[in-house]
Amino acid sequence: MQDYQFYWSIVFDALPQLLSGAWVTLQITLLSVVIGMAFAIPMSVIRQNGSGWKYYFTSWWVELSRNTPVLFQVYIMYFGLGALEINISSYRAVLIAIAFNNAGYMAEIFRGGLNVIPRQQMSTARSLGMTSRQAFRHVIFPQVFKVVFLPFITQCVWAMLNTSLGMLVGLRELSGATQYAQSVSFRTFEFFLVTAGIYYAIAKFIQFGAQLTFRLMYRR
């Protein structure tokens, strides 16, 4: 290690490739969080109050997403669907897999938040003339999101880190771009050290953006 020579100029030359991969990573992260939330919110309500096939379907989704490796979910979306002659790009496969995983975890996060909110608040909102949807949107969910903010942000960062699995299905996200660059230059240590720093910066960006949104939503 003492004789190791660092060649940072090679990393600098490949920086546009790494940043392009980082942009793909950020895209998939944001889209998977939005899509995951769109499914997770109604799933949490169904898991809390539902019955019948909807309850069993959402329970199956939550159990499968939380108790199987994300790598397995990515492989199913890419190679599994491909075996059924349903061909989708590696980008879409990774996006769908991570959104599926996010929905399962977020559904349980939001359900935990719902358990904290007194049930009387819904009936009170209904007595004021609100529909169930209006009551949930304007009364219940703002309180739930405030309660679950920290685990929600943790899940967002976890989703970002899971995008690195795209490398295994040929996606040029940050890890994929790094793998390609180091395989050409053989400068493994430099590239992965810089990439770790980029992942850290993205995680902090997500946390900062979420905290800013939280303050704007709940400022007094």
What pLDDT digit, counting tens, does each position of 3-51 carry? 677 778 888 888 999 999 999 999 999 999 999 999 999 999 888 877 7
- Residue 162 confidence class, pLDDT cut points 50, 70, 90: very high
Helix (H, G, I), strand (E, B) or coil at 30: helix
**Residue 23: what residue type?**
W
Residue predicted with more confidence, 192 or 121: 192
Which of 47-61, 189-203, 206-220 ranks highest by mean pLDDT? 189-203
Q: Do residues 114 and 44 lie in contact, with contact meaning Cβ atoms separated by under 8 Å?
A: yes
Q: Do residues 131 and 107 lie in contact, with contact meaning Cβ atoms separated by under 8 Å?
A: no
Residue predicted with more confidence, 179 or 132: 179
10 Å Cβ neighbour count for 28? Answer: 24
Flag whether pLDDT at 123 surpasses 80: no
pLDDT number for residue 202: 95
Q: Is 73 exposed, middle or buried (0-12, 13-18, 19+ CB in 10 A)?
A: buried
SS3 of the chain: helix, strand, coil, percent, to 5: 85, 0, 15
Buried b (16+ CB within 10 A) or exposed e, 167-187: bbbebbbbbbbbbbbbeeeeb
pLDDT number for residue 10: 86
Helix (H, G, I), strand (E, B) or coil at 85: coil
What global pTM score does this model have? Answer: 0.89
50 — phi, psi (to 5°)? -80, 175
Q: Do residues 217 and 209 lie in contact, with contact meaning Cβ atoms separated by under 8 Å?
A: no
Architecture of domain 15-218: Orthogonal Bundle (1.10)
- Residue 190 confidence class, pLDDT cut points 50, 70, 90: confident
Average confidence (pLDDT) over 127-139 = 80
10 Å Cβ neighbour count for 78? Answer: 24
Average pLDDT, the chain: 89
Residue predicted with more confidence, 131 or 200: 200
Torsion region of 164: left, alpha or beta (phi above 0 gives left; psi -120 to 50 gives alpha): alpha
pLDDT number for residue 32: 97
pLDDT number for residue 220: 56
